[in-house]
Every structure is written in C-alpha cells, then in structure tokens.
Amino acid sequence: MNLDKFQRAWKADASELKVTFDAELLSQQVQQSHDQFRNIIFWRDVREVGVSLLMIPIWLAMGIGMSLPWSWWLTVPVLLWIAGFMLIDRKLHPKAPSDPGQPLLFYAKESLTQVEHQIWLLRNIFWWYLLPFTISLMAFFIHVAWNTTGTWWGCILVTTPFGVFLFYLYRKIYRLNQKAVDEQLQPRQEHLQRIVANLESDDASDGGEVDDLVELVSSLVVDEQTSGDIPGGQDWGSWSENWNRIVPSWWMAAMILVPTLVGGYCGYRFSFSQAGPVFFQSVVAAVIPFEIMFFGRWYLISKRSKEKPPTDSVAKQIGAPAILVLILIFVISTLAVAAVFSFVGHARSGGSSDTEAVVVADSPVNAGTYAKVAPFSDVRWEGDLPTIRLTDGWAQLNSIDGIPIQDIMSFANEQYGSTARKRFTEDFVEVVSKMGHDLDWEVELELQFPDGEVKTVREQMTLVYQRLAAFNLQIRTQYNLSQEEPDATE
C-alpha cells in the first residue's frame, strides 16, 4: 500500500487526459487513519473518566478522615460532571455505521466530522473542564482561609498563593491543548476538507486532481504518526515503544523497584505513632522514592525526545522490564488507596484504641521507637510533683517501678527544661527509658490518695491522650489551677 506508486504511475504517463487510481486503496488508507485517530481519542477518554471516578472515593475518604469543611465536597460533583460529560459526549458522537467497501468520500467525511468535534472540545476545554475545577477548589481555599483568619485581608493573603498556583497550572494545561489543536488537529482538518472537496469536484479524475488527492492522503498518513501529541493520546505502537524507552532494561527496572522497596521497609521499620498507621507510613515512604525515580526517568526521556527525536529502533512489543514497572504502578496505586482508607479509619477511631489497654508482643521501647503510652490518663501538677488520674480517681504519684518521682522529674528538668512537664505527660516511656530504666506494659505505682492512704497498685499502659493532656496543661497554667487540691471524689 505504498501511496508513492500512484504518483509514479500517473507521472509516467502524464500525456493522458484522464487518470484512473485505486480508490479502494485510498479508502483503506483513510479508514485506517480514521480508526487510529478514534483509538487515540478513545484511550484518552478512558483515562480521563477512569481518573475522575477513582478520585471520588479518595476525595470522600480525605474529607471524612480529615474532617474538612463542606466546601471540600464541591469537587465531588465536578468529578462526576467530567466523567459524565465525556461518557455522554461519546454517546452523542458515535462512530457512523459502515459496510465494507464504502467509498473514499464516506470515510473522509466521517474523519472530518470527528476531527472537527475534537477541535471544538479542546477549544472549549476551559468551560467544561478547567472552570468547574477552578470554582470548587477556589471555594475550598477561600473557605479555609476565612475560617483560619476571620478577616477579608487575611483571607485574601492566604488564598492568593493558591490562586496563583492554580492559575499557572491551568494556564499551562489550556495552552497545551490549544497547541495540540493548532499543530495537530487543524492541519488534519484542512487535509480532510481538501480531500472531501477534491472528491466532490467534477474534475476528480483529472491528473492534477489525482496527484493532489494522493498527496493529501499521504500527508494524512504521515500526520497520523505524530498524532500522539494530542493531549492524552497515543496509539498502542507508540505507547509500547515509549514504555520500552523509559524502561529499556532490567537494570533500569531495578533502579525504580529497589528504592521503592527500601523506602517501604524504612517506613515500616522507623514508623512513629504521630504519623498514623504503620501501613500508611510504609506506603507513603514507598511512594516518594518511586515517584522520584519513575517520573524523573520519564521527564529525562521526554526532554531528550523533544531536543532530538529518537532514531533508534525500539521493539513495538512491550518488554518484560516495562511490564514489571507497569505492575509496580498498579500495586503502588492500589496500596495508596488502601493506605488512605487505613489513615481515615485510624483517625476516626482516635488512634486505634485510646481508651483500651495496649497489648502487644514488643516492649514499649522497640528499636529506638518509644510507644506513646502511660499508666495514667491525665495529669495535674503540684510544683514538680504529678498527681495522676486513674480509674479510681486522682492520686499523687510517689514512684514508678520503685523509681522515686522526684528523680524522674529532676532528670526531666535537666534534659528538657521548661518542657519537662509536657514531655513527662506525652512522652512518659521515652523520659523514663532515657534514665536507663526499662518499662513493661504493666508497671507498679506507689500512690498517695487525698485521704492520706498510700497504696501500691499495678496499672497497664494505655495510649496517651496527647491533645487532651497538652490542652489541660495549657488551661491549668493559664488560669493558675496547678496548685488546686485534687478532688478525691472525682
């Protein structure tokens, strides 16, 4: 199906007044070009709809888990609008039914209709795509800024950086789409318009007209080879070739995989309670190096191809190293969604079980990590001596596992200065452990109750109410309540 044969054929016999050409061959070329173009648009739409639908549960999980204001939820109908718009658009502009052997003019008109519709979509992308997101996101930014500052000038000051960032981001997206229209879709539209005009003219069999027709179809096929520049669109051949360029060998696959696994292990090994569930921390620690390595490689290949188009031969069948990285992307994406739900569940449960005793196999001090636990639920202070709250009420703490409380507070004052009380309340295990004493999940406390009774009891560690303890300490200090006698009946 070499179109150059047509040119050589009629030029070799230019003396003839009428030239015949293989219309079926040209029809096949135009049909093939049209099918490839539709395939590119189809996969672009699949990705847009898929991402929009995937973002909805993530958006819901983040809103619930982080207790975000009502303006956060405005983006959910926007995501539904984008997915619905593209699905309805495809429904309203289906591929025209055709029988085998349709004339060249039929395929040319069908291709022209599809191209003109894509031009309309991208020319109006601001109205149906960018503007809805802009409204919902800016409403959220303004709402949060107003709740934070409470003044118009403060709201403007906080919102402006987000607005500027959003402006430049969407400006870049808009220009990218307009560039695709100007450099890819409009030339294709012009070629198809000339083909249709040529075929509908009365001089379609004239030598010059045939030459022009062949040239147009040839240019249409050539343009198809670069149509991957349409935002979000590439055919399978160029898609697999690009993946083979990004991940050409097992060495490159290892350069992406190994940092991801190491990051995930570090997130698991060195997790800390303030950052949420261990699973969530492990996934986050794996995603960060993966994004750095993978997108760094992607950017490098993209930059090289723009500076100098690749001329090397790359297999059209996607290679095993690239398949491994694709599987890794799928696994990472799945784990990321699961991690978000894990974090939400952790946040909603108040840190797993704040009111229940902690029962685990490891000790409170594990590989340099200190459990956020204590044998009390709240603390009052009389000078530097703590009065702790237990299930039976309040009592003055005299010793812990035989360690006098005066020694513990003396050490805390030397180590932490003005934050000694706060560290004792929130980091009890760390303070005692750094004194050189190992604690278990159950400790022995010597207590003195308000009626003068001294009693030794064993208490299990429970998770520290970090926010409550800090808040109580702040309130008591502010209102000079630290010297109050504890209520024995409380």
* Per-residue pLDDT at 343: 73
> Which residues of the chain, if any, have pLDDT below 70?
1-34, 95-102, 104, 202-239, 273-275, 309-316, 344-368, 391-392, 463-490
* Per-residue pLDDT at 401: 84
* Per-residue pLDDT at 81: 95
* Per-residue pLDDT at 126: 93
* SS3 track for the chain: CCCHHHHHHHHHCCCCCECCCCHHHHHHHHHHHHHHHHHHHHHHHHHHHHHHHHHHHHHHHHHHHCCCCHHHHHHHHHHHHHHHHHHHHHHHCCCCCCCCCCCHHHHHHHHHHHHHHHHHHHHCHHHHHHHHHHHHHHHHHHHHHHHHHCCHHHHHHHHHHHHHHHHHHHHHHHHHHHHHHHHHHHHHHHHHHHHHHHHHCCCCCEHHHHHHHHHHHHHHHHHHHCHHHCCCCCCHHHHHHHHHHHCCCHHHHHHHHHHHHHHHHHHHHCCCHHHCCHHHHHHHHHHHHHHHHHHHHHHHHHHHHHHCCCCCCCCCCCCHHHHHHHHHHHHHHHHHHHHHHHHHHHHHCCCCCCCCECCCCCCCEECCEECCEECCCEEEEECCEEEEEECCEEEEEEEECCEEHHHHHHHHHHHHHHHHHHHHHHCHHHHHHHCCCCCCCEEEEEEECCCCCEEEEEEECEECCHHHHHHHHHHHHHCCCCCCCCCCCC
Is the pTM higher than 0.95? no
pLDDT in tens, 269-319: 887 766 677 888 888 889 889 989 888 888 888 777 777 766 666 666 778
* Per-residue pLDDT at 274: 64
* Per-residue pLDDT at 78: 95
